[in-house]
Structure 1
Amino acid sequence: MVDLIEYLPILLFLGVALVLSSAFVFLPMIAARFTGAHQPTPEKLTEYECGFPAFEDSRSQFDVRFYLVAILFIIFDLEAAFLFPWAVSVFDLGWAAWISMMIFIGELGLGLAYAWKVGALDWE
Protein backbone atom coordinates (compact mmCIF):
# COMPACT_ATOMS: atom_id res chain seq x y z
CA MET A 1 0.00 0.00 0.00
CA VAL A 2 1.38 3.38 -0.95
CA ASP A 3 1.52 6.00 1.78
CA LEU A 4 -0.48 9.10 1.02
CA ILE A 5 2.40 11.27 2.26
CA GLU A 6 4.19 10.52 -1.03
CA TYR A 7 1.54 12.56 -2.85
CA LEU A 8 2.14 15.66 -0.69
CA PRO A 9 4.61 17.34 -3.11
CA ILE A 10 2.14 16.94 -5.97
CA LEU A 11 -0.69 18.37 -3.90
CA LEU A 12 1.51 21.29 -2.82
CA PHE A 13 2.44 21.95 -6.44
CA LEU A 14 -1.20 21.88 -7.51
CA GLY A 15 -2.16 24.18 -4.62
CA VAL A 16 0.52 26.73 -5.49
CA ALA A 17 -0.50 26.56 -9.17
CA LEU A 18 -4.15 27.11 -8.26
CA VAL A 19 -3.33 30.08 -6.02
CA LEU A 20 -1.05 31.70 -8.60
CA SER A 21 -3.44 31.19 -11.51
CA SER A 22 -6.33 32.58 -9.48
CA ALA A 23 -4.20 35.58 -8.51
CA PHE A 24 -3.30 36.24 -12.15
CA VAL A 25 -6.99 36.19 -13.06
CA PHE A 26 -8.59 38.07 -10.19
CA LEU A 27 -5.94 40.61 -9.12
CA PRO A 28 -6.08 42.55 -12.41
CA MET A 29 -9.88 42.70 -12.09
CA ILE A 30 -9.60 44.09 -8.57
CA ALA A 31 -6.93 46.58 -9.65
CA ALA A 32 -9.18 47.73 -12.51
CA ARG A 33 -12.02 48.39 -10.09
CA PHE A 34 -9.82 50.53 -7.86
CA THR A 35 -8.20 52.48 -10.71
CA GLY A 36 -11.39 53.18 -12.66
CA ALA A 37 -10.29 51.22 -15.72
CA HIS A 38 -13.60 49.36 -15.76
CA GLN A 39 -15.59 52.48 -16.73
CA PRO A 40 -15.57 52.69 -20.53
CA THR A 41 -15.39 56.08 -22.23
CA PRO A 42 -15.61 56.81 -25.97
CA GLU A 43 -11.82 57.14 -26.12
CA LYS A 44 -11.36 53.72 -24.54
CA LEU A 45 -13.77 52.11 -27.00
CA THR A 46 -12.05 53.40 -30.16
CA GLU A 47 -10.14 51.16 -32.54
CA TYR A 48 -6.57 50.67 -31.42
CA GLU A 49 -5.17 47.85 -33.51
CA CYS A 50 -5.31 49.35 -36.98
CA GLY A 51 -6.52 52.90 -36.33
CA PHE A 52 -9.70 52.84 -38.40
CA PRO A 53 -13.10 51.10 -38.14
CA ALA A 54 -13.53 47.67 -39.68
CA PHE A 55 -14.87 47.56 -43.23
CA GLU A 56 -17.09 44.54 -42.86
CA ASP A 57 -18.90 42.47 -40.28
CA SER A 58 -16.55 40.76 -37.86
CA ARG A 59 -18.30 37.43 -38.46
CA SER A 60 -17.52 37.36 -42.18
CA GLN A 61 -15.84 34.29 -43.59
CA PHE A 62 -12.13 34.19 -44.34
CA ASP A 63 -10.75 33.03 -47.62
CA VAL A 64 -9.63 29.40 -47.64
CA ARG A 65 -6.13 30.45 -48.73
CA PHE A 66 -5.66 32.13 -45.36
CA TYR A 67 -6.08 28.76 -43.65
CA LEU A 68 -3.79 27.03 -46.16
CA VAL A 69 -1.00 29.49 -45.46
CA ALA A 70 -1.56 29.05 -41.72
CA ILE A 71 -1.37 25.26 -42.02
CA LEU A 72 1.80 25.49 -44.10
CA PHE A 73 3.33 27.76 -41.48
CA ILE A 74 2.53 25.25 -38.73
CA ILE A 75 3.99 22.39 -40.76
CA PHE A 76 7.30 24.17 -41.39
CA ASP A 77 7.42 25.41 -37.80
CA LEU A 78 7.13 21.82 -36.63
CA GLU A 79 9.86 20.87 -39.08
CA ALA A 80 12.16 23.35 -37.37
CA ALA A 81 11.18 21.91 -34.00
CA PHE A 82 12.20 18.43 -35.18
CA LEU A 83 15.29 19.59 -37.02
CA PHE A 84 17.11 21.21 -34.08
CA PRO A 85 17.26 18.18 -31.73
CA TRP A 86 18.17 16.02 -34.69
CA ALA A 87 21.05 18.34 -35.63
CA VAL A 88 22.37 18.24 -32.08
CA SER A 89 22.44 14.45 -31.89
CA VAL A 90 22.89 13.34 -35.52
CA PHE A 91 26.53 12.32 -35.08
CA ASP A 92 25.64 10.05 -32.16
CA LEU A 93 22.70 8.44 -33.97
CA GLY A 94 24.46 7.44 -37.18
CA TRP A 95 23.48 7.14 -40.81
CA ALA A 96 19.99 5.81 -40.15
CA ALA A 97 19.03 9.07 -38.45
CA TRP A 98 20.53 11.12 -41.27
CA ILE A 99 18.70 9.14 -43.97
CA SER A 100 15.38 9.26 -42.15
CA MET A 101 15.66 13.06 -41.72
CA MET A 102 16.49 13.50 -45.41
CA ILE A 103 13.37 11.47 -46.27
CA PHE A 104 11.34 13.69 -43.90
CA ILE A 105 12.72 16.90 -45.44
CA GLY A 106 12.14 15.49 -48.92
CA GLU A 107 8.49 14.77 -48.11
CA LEU A 108 8.07 18.31 -46.81
CA GLY A 109 9.72 19.67 -49.93
CA LEU A 110 7.36 17.65 -52.12
CA GLY A 111 4.41 18.98 -50.13
CA LEU A 112 5.64 22.55 -50.57
CA ALA A 113 6.15 22.02 -54.30
CA TYR A 114 2.62 20.61 -54.61
CA ALA A 115 1.12 23.52 -52.67
CA TRP A 116 3.04 25.94 -54.86
CA LYS A 117 1.92 24.15 -58.04
CA VAL A 118 -1.79 24.17 -57.17
CA GLY A 119 -1.61 27.86 -56.25
CA ALA A 120 -2.08 27.63 -52.49
CA LEU A 121 0.61 30.28 -51.97
CA ASP A 122 -0.76 32.74 -54.54
CA TRP A 123 -2.52 35.69 -52.99
CA GLU A 124 -4.81 37.96 -55.00
Structure 2
Amino acid sequence: MLVAQSSDVSTDLGVYLPLVVMFVVAAAFAVGSALLGPLVGPSRYNRAKLSAYECGIEPSPQPVVGGGRVPVAYYLTAMLFILFDIEMVFLYPFAVSADVLGLFGLVEIFLFIATVGFAYAYVWRRGGLDWN
Protein backbone atom coordinates (compact mmCIF):
# COMPACT_ATOMS: atom_id res chain seq x y z
CA MET A 1 0.00 0.00 0.00
CA LEU A 2 1.38 3.38 -1.02
CA VAL A 3 1.06 6.18 1.46
CA ALA A 4 2.26 9.66 0.57
CA GLN A 5 4.22 11.40 3.23
CA SER A 6 2.90 14.74 4.38
CA SER A 7 6.02 16.64 3.43
CA ASP A 8 5.80 15.46 -0.20
CA VAL A 9 2.13 16.40 -0.51
CA SER A 10 2.59 19.87 0.97
CA THR A 11 5.46 20.69 -1.36
CA ASP A 12 3.55 19.38 -4.36
CA LEU A 13 0.47 21.44 -3.53
CA GLY A 14 2.57 24.51 -2.77
CA VAL A 15 3.32 24.79 -6.49
CA TYR A 16 -0.34 25.65 -7.12
CA LEU A 17 -0.56 28.39 -4.48
CA PRO A 18 0.20 31.27 -6.91
CA LEU A 19 -2.49 29.98 -9.26
CA VAL A 20 -5.06 29.80 -6.47
CA VAL A 21 -4.12 33.31 -5.31
CA MET A 22 -4.52 34.60 -8.88
CA PHE A 23 -8.02 33.08 -9.15
CA VAL A 24 -9.03 34.54 -5.77
CA VAL A 25 -7.78 38.01 -6.75
CA ALA A 26 -9.53 37.79 -10.14
CA ALA A 27 -12.81 36.70 -8.55
CA ALA A 28 -12.55 39.44 -5.91
CA PHE A 29 -11.89 42.04 -8.61
CA ALA A 30 -14.85 40.86 -10.71
CA VAL A 31 -17.28 40.80 -7.79
CA GLY A 32 -15.94 44.08 -6.40
CA SER A 33 -16.27 45.82 -9.76
CA ALA A 34 -19.83 44.60 -10.20
CA LEU A 35 -20.84 45.70 -6.71
CA LEU A 36 -19.02 49.05 -6.64
CA GLY A 37 -20.03 50.17 -10.13
CA PRO A 38 -23.57 51.29 -9.27
CA LEU A 39 -22.41 52.86 -6.00
CA VAL A 40 -19.49 54.87 -7.39
CA GLY A 41 -20.81 55.66 -10.88
CA PRO A 42 -22.92 58.70 -11.75
CA SER A 43 -26.65 58.37 -11.22
CA ARG A 44 -27.89 61.24 -13.36
CA TYR A 45 -30.45 59.77 -15.71
CA ASN A 46 -32.21 61.51 -18.56
CA ARG A 47 -34.53 60.45 -21.33
CA ALA A 48 -31.73 59.78 -23.83
CA LYS A 49 -29.85 57.49 -21.44
CA LEU A 50 -32.95 55.48 -20.60
CA SER A 51 -34.01 54.97 -24.23
CA ALA A 52 -32.99 51.88 -26.18
CA TYR A 53 -29.94 52.19 -28.43
CA GLU A 54 -30.61 50.89 -31.91
CA CYS A 55 -27.39 51.51 -33.88
CA GLY A 56 -28.13 55.13 -34.72
CA ILE A 57 -31.63 54.37 -36.03
CA GLU A 58 -34.34 56.38 -34.37
CA PRO A 59 -36.34 53.92 -32.25
CA SER A 60 -39.94 53.52 -33.27
CA PRO A 61 -42.76 53.06 -30.77
CA GLN A 62 -44.10 50.05 -32.70
CA PRO A 63 -41.85 47.00 -33.09
CA VAL A 64 -41.04 46.01 -36.65
CA VAL A 65 -42.35 42.58 -37.58
CA GLY A 66 -39.37 40.24 -37.92
CA GLY A 67 -37.02 42.62 -36.10
CA GLY A 68 -35.96 44.56 -39.20
CA ARG A 69 -33.30 43.76 -41.75
CA VAL A 70 -29.62 43.61 -40.88
CA PRO A 71 -27.16 43.64 -43.80
CA VAL A 72 -25.26 40.40 -44.30
CA ALA A 73 -22.00 42.39 -44.41
CA TYR A 74 -22.14 42.72 -40.62
CA TYR A 75 -22.12 38.96 -40.19
CA LEU A 76 -19.40 38.46 -42.82
CA THR A 77 -17.20 41.05 -41.13
CA ALA A 78 -17.70 39.36 -37.76
CA MET A 79 -16.84 35.94 -39.19
CA LEU A 80 -13.72 37.29 -40.89
CA PHE A 81 -12.63 38.91 -37.65
CA ILE A 82 -13.06 35.61 -35.81
CA LEU A 83 -11.16 33.74 -38.54
CA PHE A 84 -8.13 36.01 -38.50
CA ASP A 85 -8.26 36.37 -34.72
CA ILE A 86 -8.05 32.59 -34.37
CA GLU A 87 -5.04 32.67 -36.70
CA MET A 88 -3.25 34.87 -34.20
CA VAL A 89 -4.16 32.45 -31.42
CA PHE A 90 -2.37 29.69 -33.32
CA LEU A 91 0.63 31.86 -34.20
CA TYR A 92 1.36 32.98 -30.64
CA PRO A 93 2.38 29.55 -29.26
CA PHE A 94 4.72 29.11 -32.22
CA ALA A 95 6.39 32.43 -31.48
CA VAL A 96 6.90 31.38 -27.87
CA SER A 97 8.45 27.99 -28.68
CA ALA A 98 10.04 28.62 -32.08
CA ASP A 99 13.54 27.64 -30.95
CA VAL A 100 12.35 24.25 -29.64
CA LEU A 101 10.43 23.33 -32.80
CA GLY A 102 13.37 23.87 -35.12
CA LEU A 103 13.14 23.49 -38.90
CA PHE A 104 10.01 21.30 -38.76
CA GLY A 105 8.11 23.99 -36.86
CA LEU A 106 9.33 26.67 -39.24
CA VAL A 107 8.09 24.73 -42.28
CA GLU A 108 4.75 24.01 -40.60
CA ILE A 109 4.19 27.65 -39.66
CA PHE A 110 5.02 28.77 -43.19
CA LEU A 111 2.44 26.28 -44.52
CA PHE A 112 -0.09 27.59 -42.01
CA ILE A 113 0.58 31.22 -42.95
CA ALA A 114 0.38 30.33 -46.67
CA THR A 115 -2.99 28.62 -46.16
CA VAL A 116 -4.39 31.58 -44.25
CA GLY A 117 -2.84 33.91 -46.82
CA PHE A 118 -4.72 32.13 -49.61
CA ALA A 119 -7.95 32.50 -47.60
CA TYR A 120 -7.20 36.19 -47.04
CA ALA A 121 -6.54 36.73 -50.78
CA TYR A 122 -9.76 34.89 -51.66
CA VAL A 123 -11.82 37.02 -49.28
CA TRP A 124 -10.16 40.18 -50.55
CA ARG A 125 -10.76 39.20 -54.19
CA ARG A 126 -14.44 38.42 -53.47
CA GLY A 127 -14.93 41.86 -51.89
CA GLY A 128 -15.37 40.64 -48.32
CA LEU A 129 -13.13 43.42 -47.01
CA ASP A 130 -14.99 46.32 -48.68
CA TRP A 131 -16.52 48.54 -46.04
CA ASN A 132 -18.96 50.35 -48.37
With the shorter chain as reference, the TM-score category is 0.5 to 0.7
**Residue in 2 aligned with 1:76?**
84
Q: What is the rounded CA distance, in whole Å, between the counterparts of 2:115 and 2:92 in structure 1?
A: 18
Stretches of structure 2 that go unaligned for 5 or more consecutive residues are: 1-12
Contact 1:65 1:121 in 2 (8 A): no
Deviation at 1:104, TM superposition (A): 0.9
Residue in structure 1 matching 2:107, options 87, 99, 102 = 99
Q: Which shifted more, 78-87 or 68-77?
A: 78-87
**Residue in 2 aligned with 1:29?**
38
Alignment of 1:40 onto 2:40: no
**Residue in 2 aligned with 1:120?**
128
Deviation at 1:73, TM superposition (A): 1.9
Q: Secondary structure at the match of 1:101?
A: helix
Q: What is the rounded CA distance, in whole Å, between the counterparts of 1:12 and 1:19 in structure 2?
A: 10
Stretches of structure 1 that go unaligned for 5 or more consecutive residues are: 1-5
TM-score (norm 2): 0.56
Name which structure has the greater RCO, CA cutoff 8 Å, separation 6+.
1
For 1:120, the aligned partner's letter is G
Deviation at 1:19, TM superposition (A): 5.7
Query: For the structure 1 residues 16 and 41, does the alpha-carbon distance in structure 2 shift closer, same or farther, using more than 3 Å as the test?
Result: same
Alignment of 1:65 onto 2:70: no
Query: For the structure 1 residues 88 and 63, does the alpha-carbon distance in structure 2 shift closer, same or farther, using more than 3 Å as the test?
Result: same
For 2:57, the aligned partner's letter is A
TM-score (norm 1): 0.58
**Residue in 1 aligned with 2:57?**
54
Deviation at 1:97, TM superposition (A): 0.7
Q: Secondary structure at the match of 2:97?
A: helix
For 2:108, the aligned partner's letter is S
Q: Secondary structure at the match of 1:94?
A: helix
Deviation at 1:45, TM superposition (A): 4.7
